[in-house]
Amino acid sequence: MKTPLGLLLLPFCWTHVALAADEPKLAIPGEVLYENKLDSTPGAEWKAAKGKWEAIDGAWRGSELPEDKHGAVIRLNQKLTDFVIDAEFCFSGAKSTSLTINAVKDHMARIAITGNTVTIRRDDNDHRGPDKAITFAVFSRKFEPGTWHKIHLEMVGDTMLGQVDDLIAWGSDPLFTTPKLAPGFTAAGQSIQLRNFVIRAATLNPAWEAVKAKLPKPGEQSIDAGVGAAPKRK
């Protein structure tokens, strides 16, 4: 019996027990705007700007190519207003991955994940200009290769909420009220696996203020306080 090529190239990814809860947070999810299990070759609606993106064993594999001298990037050609995105990821050798959203010009926001950290931030929107990224939270968390984890992003009005498994943070910025474009993924190194990508329309959760009161304020959660430290409260 021959072993499938994908199993030779990748460690098998097991589902991690810590999955994001389904209770409403910032947003109330609505109709599905786009859904893709990511179990087949990326279609024409996706643009692979950098790296190699392929379907292996029922999931996408994104790998950085040395000749690119840049992390792998793939983006969906879609304009969004208020939305919720869900997906799953599994480290298979990559140094980092991220779920990102672009503005009309340059980047807008991202959830960035390494093997040891999760960062939720508003991105630098002009690179060489005066604008700077704003970090809403940095969590310490070990992501073992070969385990599936859930990533979740909500954007409503001027606010974003990011979640990876049970780690949650939020932040607000006027940039978030501008058109949101090209949701996508990045991968540094080789490789990351992705599956079960869904975008839903969203409306503001009427209970958001109560939910927000139970979460760390933007900037309070940082691994500078120590690995596994609780959020600093004012």
pLDDT computed for residue 222 by the predictor: 85
> What is the token pair recorded at 53?
């993106």
For 165-228, strand residue ranges (E) read 167-172, 180-204
Rounded to the nearest angstrom, the gap between the alpha carbon of residue 127 and the centroid of all alpha carbons in its chain is 20
State how far the Cα of 53 lies from the Cα of 57, in Å rounded to an integer.
13
Domain locations along the chain: 22-210
Rounded to the nearest angstrom, the gap between the alpha carbon of residue 9 and the centroid of all alpha carbons in its chain is 24
Contacts of 4 (CB under 8 A, 6+ apart): 57
Q: pTM of the full predicted structure?
A: 0.88
> What is the token pair recorded at 174?
């006027």
Q: Could you tell me whether strands 79-80 and 167-172 are parallel, antiparallel, or unpaired per DSSP bridges?
A: unpaired
pLDDT computed for residue 11 by the predictor: 52
Per-residue pLDDT of the chain (234 residues; tens, 9 = 90+): 443 444 344 455 765 444 444 789 999 999 999 999 999 999 999 999 999 999 999 999 999 999 999 999 999 999 999 999 999 999 999 999 999 999 998 999 999 999 999 999 999 998 777 889 999 999 999 999 999 999 999 999 999 999 999 999 999 999 999 999 999 999 999 999 999 999 999 999 999 999 999 999 999 998 754 433 333 333
3-class DSSP state of 174: helix
Report whether CATH 2.60.120.560 matches the domain 22-210.
yes
pLDDT computed for residue 228 by the predictor: 39
